Amino acid sequence: MLTITIKGTEAYNPKTREFINTKDTTLTLEHSLVSVSKWEAKWHKPFLSKDTKTNEETLDYVKCMTITQNVDPNIYALLTREQIKTINDYIADPMTATWFNERKDKPGKKSSEQITSELIYYWMVALEIPFKPCEKWHLNRLLTLVRICNIKNQPDKKYSKKETMSRNAALNAARRKKLGTSG
């Protein structure tokens, strides 16, 4: 979770021609599957797409991330650039010590499948990952768990004949060197 304090202020709203007074407000934010689901239900498009989000969509996602109760809706307009950067850094944080070795020499087939909250929920069902508490985990941590489950559930890789022969030759050479023999 991320906590941000927004300073209260007096501001003029030209649309309503009124002055708005806000108090200092502390927001607790959670970038989770629940937050993404709320946002997608409103905007009817995948949150995890590469498409750039408008300022309105971005601020609305911050609202969806907010777990603090009874927040004055005017407070979100007072977020500073630094606070938005902090929120974006939090969203991008992997929140895990797990990393994957991405082989550059292995041609990978990129999926064109749009990832939505419902697809992530499907993965959780298929991989028997419990909704509670995982749907409230940081989204990147949940996606890492899904990826690990997929990797661990794959059958062992079968080596080609050439790879097997090469591996056996290396093992035999190491044994010969260790034992000081020639064959």
Q: How many structural domains are present in the chain?
A: 1
Domain-embedded: residue 102: no
Q: By three-state DSSP, how is residue 94 classified?
A: coil
Name the one residue in this structure whose structure tokens are 């009874």.
Answer: 70
Q: Distance between CA 145 and CA 92 in Å, rounded?
A: 16
Q: What is the mean pLDDT of each run of 10 residues along the chain (183 residues)?
A: 92 81 93 96 94 93 96 89 95 87 56 85 93 92 92 82 85 85 76
pLDDT digits (tens, 9 = 90+) for 96-136: 888 877 764 444 556 678 889 999 999 999 999 999 999 99
- What pLDDT does 11 receive? 78
pTM for the model stands at 0.72
Domain that holds residue 132: 1-96+113-183
Q: Is residue 106 part of a domain?
A: no
pLDDT of residue 56: 93
pLDDT at 25: 94
Residue 111 is predicted with a pLDDT of 66
- Among 43, 45, 51, 29, smallest CA distance to 139 is for 29
Q: What is the dihedral of CA 23, 57, 36, 94, to 10 degrees?
A: -80
Report d(CA 12, CA 46) in Å as an integer.
34
So what's the pLDDT on residue 107?
Answer: 47
